[in-house]
Structure 1
Amino acid sequence: MKSRLLQLSIFLFIAFLFYPGCNLIKSIAPDDELPVKKTENRYYNYIEAYLNIKKNNLDKAIYHLNKTIKDDPENLYLQRELALLYLLQKDSLTALNIVENIIDKNPRDIDSLIMYGRIKQSLKQIDDAKEAYENVIAFDPSQKEIYLVLGDIYMAEGKLGKALKIYKQLVNKYPEFYAGHFFIGKIYAEQDKIVDAEIEFNKALDLEPGLEEARFELIKLYKSLGEDQKVINIYEEILRRNSNNIRAALELGLLYYKDGMIKDSDKLLEDLAAKSLSDSEVIRKVAELYLDEKKYDDAVIILEGMLKNSSYSSDLHYAAGIAYDGIKDKEMTTTHLKQVKPGSKFYQNAAIRISLLYRDEGKIGEAINFLENVIENIPDKPEPMLYLGSFYEEKEEFNKAEKVFKKALIIDPNNIELHFRLGVVYDKLDKKEAAIESMKTVINLDPHNANALNYVGYIYAELGINLDEAERLIKEALKYSPDDGYITDSLGWVYYKKGLYKDALKLLKKAADLVPDDPTIFEHLGDAYLKMNDKKKALMFYERSLLKREKDKADIEKKILELK
């Protein structure tokens, strides 16, 4: 059974999307109700407007509706319909101008005030929207939905007192309207007025017994008071009314477990596991309520319970792997993720996560072997190849990395990350021209890719060629990543190569502030200080560079030796 408040919210959304009336869009009024004077020309333009709306030709619809309004300029209905068409074209300002003109002449026109408020809301001009809605309620207290809209705005702003006033006005006018009592209850709950909140939620349920949201709010209240039995009773009531309420089943199964009611918990979770085989909403709810909220311990309890009699479910194993990963249990993470079968939509993600776990443990060889087997199972997927190539990079097996990246690019020729990694590998293989071409491909695919722009510029600087172009590219990269220390270092290095040592030094010092432990930046600083004849500082930065290096120490050691 669908939630009543959800249905109400959908209704309000649709009403506000197409409000007011919209007979022009939905249907043509009969002759005797047509809101224009009955002349053949006016009727023709009105019909043309309608037909063009049906064809989604809004420009022509607006043209014909304007012609109709020209013949009947005092017709507010047509003017509102014209404003609505502009809204459908996402031209809020023109629509707003039309509605403002209506309100200037007819300040108590309710339909126009509501449309004005909606437009102002869409433009984030909330104070104007609130004023409009307040006027609607003052001029026509029967506008039930506007109380809800205005109350919701005040609640979103944290102005609970004003929201409460609006909702109380609503229930005074419509004492049998369940939504008013529900939202009053929510405000009381936020104000820690537990008894008052409980009364209002129960009033809402008396008026609308199928209102699940009110029961979940009562559950929150009773949980805060530690009244587990009341909580259990409400969960059971929800499930009696709607056995398909996955949230209630998950939460009750967890509560049963924590209260030591293991058999009851197992029964609920086993039923959910069976349901998950044909209904993806079960896994989605687990993700939404527990994984996304980082409630990993609770997720582990729920998923292990579900897996007791559904150990073959790849989806459940994947979710369990994510939960165990969240509590840093690498062994159980790997155990569950390995149970995800190749046919599962989660197989690729599970495989990549396992490979990264191996890599993090220093088992790069196992990561490579594992991914090679995975690629045999899903040979048409480039993502595992991206990781495999990256692992080969880490092992400095650049030729193998190149081969893997090229194979992946046959499958996905516009993959930006693959082109970038291939360019890096070419650079490490000292294939500078190929590296530049790969990075240019990245830039063609993504002109704002700061890393690729920087990479080409830095290669030019290292080679001492195209220095003006190098400067242009790196400055462009800094537009998109202004606080990137590595890109700042690149620009400093271009200036160094141009002989602009003072400018270079300024940028290299900034780069070292942004990235305080990079050996290459330290070496560049040493080079710049040396050109400025400050041998003491040059030596200091060369020594810092040496301390940070794990390999390629010969050149820096030579520079240090020459200064000593």
Structure 2
Amino acid sequence: MKRLNLINIAILYCLIGFAGCAWQGANLQGVKPGQPKERPVNAYYLFSEAHLSLKKGQVDQAIEIMQQAQALDPDSVYLKRELASMWLMKKNTTAAIELLDEILQDHPDDIDTLLLAGRVNQNLKNSQKAIDAYSRVIALDPTRQNVYLVLGGMYMDQQLWEEAQTVYRQLVDHFPGSYAGYFFLGRISSINGDARAAQRYYEKTLEIEPDLVESRFELGGLYESEKKYQNATAVYEEILKRNPNNTQAKMALGHVLYRRGFKKKAAGIFYELGQMSLEDKEIVRILVRQYIDAQDYEAAIVIIRGLLKGAPENSDLKYLAGVSLDGLDEKEAAIDQLKQVAPDSRFFQNAAVHAALLYQEMEKLQAAIDFLLDTIQKDPENPEFRLYLGSFYEQAEAYEKAEKALKDGLAIDPENPRLYFRLGVVYDKWDKKDASIATMKKVLQIEPDNANALNYLGYTYADMGIHLDEAERLIRKALEHKPGDGYITDSLAWVYFKRGQYDKALPLLEEAARLVPDDPIVREHLGDVYSKLGMVSKALQSYRQSIENGHTEKASVEKKIQLLNQ
């Protein structure tokens, strides 16, 4: 601070050094016993008052007092940083960042401020600013072990493997006992296809921390990927030797034994796990985490079929079997498993919707509709099934049935924006524009920031050539929530097109075509703008591309081509 006298040093010491310190220095100011004490109004006193307000939960008051403290000592880095922290408590990240940037402009090497700035920017997804802050910290103070881990993790999240590898190597250089550093070096090596290096790093972690089960699983997975099933077996058996109840190791051991041809032994392990799965939900979570999420469907279905021998009525396993078979492109078999999921299962809704969508994908729309009608009989109070039934009727152009299905869903859940949105789309396709507009407005009444409804309503206005200013406002608001969305960009361009502002529409439509190159409507719109601007060859190219992309009104696009060729 500017002037640091002995009294102020003592007060600061009390405040940030020892929370229980009591100040006994009043008589140094000439206060006689019994005489009322005047509180000194200085930065330290205000700092204390601000923190007392914080303890009472009065954050606004604390900020106001801390601002007064900072005004008395404007050069204090500590006070600015404290004020930034208070702004963060109020979730005012803009004010916090401004203060932190101000500090770092004058004090670029202040480590505490760099750490706070790194954390704030990381939370705000300002990755590069966070990375810059953390990189500066370890350059100034290489002993900050946790910062290496945070920085390396950020690089890994962005799949910047080389940069992450550099950070973790620095970590193990400064901290040779950091098993976490070696673990992540192993993972990066595995990702880069260097199995030998990965194995060395994982073995190093186990040398430092023998009970680190994660490294053993990584080693086992590494051996499996190389089809070294005997080595993998030894790894999983070692885990079970240390912890006989490790379910993940049992599951992995069963799988490698199956791959080695010891199917009877594997079946015994799976059977036991299947019986356990009826009570132990962790078994399903392990299946999802280790195999389904990793899209290792081949291993998943081997394990699940084995587990089902021990628990043939387990709906959770039947659902996961359906997901795995779908992943293996065995759709009929997947549907068969999904249809066996019981109505009282936590996965019943997911299984039913998944099966219906598989029918749709197989172009068996009537089968999808019939299946959902049967599903609704089993669970008549589920609005989600009505939503999908309505969308299938919509696809079949059975708009009256679609309307009924969606309205039945709204009778169950009157404030469901997804049902209203689908109903609005049905009305639009049914050529009931006023009903569509009213329904989309209802969506926005429930969810004012629903980007899809904002765009749909805005585009509807634009396509009808009405309320163009309101259309632009709605579409721009949609873009705020979905920046870079090709369809919404197309909608904004269409507003300009309807106003006759073709020069403004053109760059937007070119951008939309880049973002969604396979959309036939966007290509048609781009052709329309080229045509209006006299760019005939480009217009013809866009129209032809629109047809190639499967435009549903091929004849109308062909007519535009004929007119340009005349």
Q: Counterpart of 2:424?
A: 423
Alignment gaps of 5+ in structure 2: 1-13, 27-36, 122-128
Cα distance in structure 2, aligned partners of 1:404 and 1:197 = 55
Structure 2 Cα separation of the partners of residues 427 and 191 of structure 1? 51
- Return closer, same or farther for 1:81/1:327 CA change in 2, 3 Å cut-off: same
How far 1:329 moved relative to its partner?
A: 0.9
Could you tell me how far apart the structure 2 residues matched to 1:398 and 1:429 are?
A: 6
1:234 Cα deviation after fit? 1.6
Kindly indicate whether the alpha-carbon contact (under 8 Å) linking 1:439 and 1:453 is maintained by their aligned counterparts in 2: yes
Q: What residue is the counterpart of 2:34 in the other structure?
A: none
Deviations 1:278-333 (A, max 9, x none): 34333233222222222221211111111111111111111110111111112211
Could you say which residue in structure 2 is the equivalent of 1:57? 58
Name the structure 2 match of 1:135.
140
SS of the equivalent of 1:342 reads coil
Q: Map residues 50-449 of structure 1 onto 2, 5 A cutoff.
A: 52-62=53-63, 84-90=85-91, 91=93, 92-93=96-97, 96=100, 100=104, 113-120=111-118, 122-123=120-121, 124-137=129-142, 141=143, 144-146=145-147, 148=149, 158-159=162-163, 160-161=165-166, 163-171=168-176, 178-179=179-180, 182=183, 201-220=202-221, 222-223=223-224, 227-444=228-445, 445-446=447-448, 448-449=451-452
**In structure 2, how many angstroms separate the alpha carbons of the residues matched to 1:523 and 1:98?**
48
1:29 corresponds, among 19, 38, 42, to 19
Shift of 1:196: 7.0
Aligned partner letter, 2:370? N
Q: Report the CA distance shift for 1:413/1:452 in structure 2 as closer, same or farther (over 3 A).
A: farther
| Greater alpha carbon shift after TM alignment, 202-211 vs 378-387 | 202-211
- For residues 376 and 30 of structure 1, the distance between their equivalents in structure 2, rounded to whole angstroms, comes to 68
Q: Residues 477-533 of structure 1, C-alpha deviation per residue, up to 9 Å, x if partnerless?
A: 9966774497489659846xxxx699999899989998889699979989x999x9x
Shift in Å at residue 336 of structure 1? Answer: 0.6
- Aligned partners of 2:462 and 2:468 also within 8 Å: no
What SS class does the counterpart of residue 413 from structure 1 fall into?
Answer: coil
Cα distance change on mapping 1:278 and 1:529 into 2, 3 Å:
same
Residue by residue over 1:120-152, the C-alpha shift from the partner in whole angstroms, topping out at 9 and shown as x without a partner, is: 354334234222223223xxx5x5545655666
Aligned to 1:16: none
The 3-state SS of whatever aligns with 1:308 is: helix
8 Å contact from structure 2 (residues 70, 76) kept in 1:
yes
What SS does the aligned partner of 1:424 have? helix
Normalised by the length of structure 2, the TM-score is 0.70
Cα deviation, residue 232, structure 1: 1.3
Aligned residues: 508
Secondary structure at 2:345 match in 1: coil
Aligned counterparts of 1:147 and 1:229: Cα–Cα separation in 2? 36
2:111 partner amino acid:
L
- Cα drift, residue 384 of structure 1: 0.8
Q: Which moved more, 1:416-425 or 1:338-347?
A: 416-425
Say which SS state the counterpart of residue 141 (structure 2) adopts: helix
Task: State the secondary structure of the residue aligned to 2:175.
Answer: helix
Tell me by how many angstroms 1:437 deviates.
1.5
Change over 3 Å in CA distance of 1:189–1:411 after alignment to 2: closer
Give structure 1 stretches of 5+ with no counterpart: 1-22
On the 8 A contact 2:421/2:440 being kept in 1, the answer is yes
DSSP-derived class of the 2:240 partner: helix
Determine the C-alpha separation between the residues in 2 that align with 1:182 and 1:515. 42
Comparing 387-396 with 144-153, greater Cα deviation is found at 144-153
CA contact (8 A) 1:489 1:521 kept: no
Task: Give, in angstroms, the shift of residue 49 of structure 1.
Answer: 5.0
Q: Distance between the aligned counterparts of 2:474 and 2:240, measured in 1?
A: 61
Change (3 A) 1:72 1:355: closer
Q: Give the CA RMSD over aligned residues.
A: 5.4
2:426 touches 2:436 (CA, 8 Å); kept in 1? Answer: yes
Classify 1:384/1:458 alpha carbon distance in 2 versus 1 (closer, same or farther; 3 Å): farther
Q: Please say if residues 315 and 341 of structure 2, whose CA atoms lie closer than 8 Å, have aligned partners that are also in contact.
A: yes
Change beyond 3 A, Cα 1:88–1:238: farther
CA, structure 1 residues 248+88, in 2 after alignment: closer, same or farther (shift >3 Å)? farther
How far the C-alpha of 1:248 sits from its partner, in A, is: 2.7
What's the secondary structure of 1:210's corresponding residue? coil
Contact 1:478–1:488 (Cα < 8 Å) also in 2: no
Identity %: 33
Q: CA deviation at 1:211?
A: 1.2
Once the two structures are TM-superposed, the CA of residue 267 in structure 1 deviates from its matched residue by 2.9
Q: Distance in 2 between matches of 1:78 and 1:394?
A: 63
Contact 2:224 2:256 in 1 (8 A): no
Normalised to the residue count of structure 1, the TM-score between the two structures is 0.70
The whole-number CA distance in structure 2 between the counterparts of 1:150 and 1:550 is 50
Check whether the contact 1:443–1:452 (CA below 8 A) recurs between aligned residues.
no
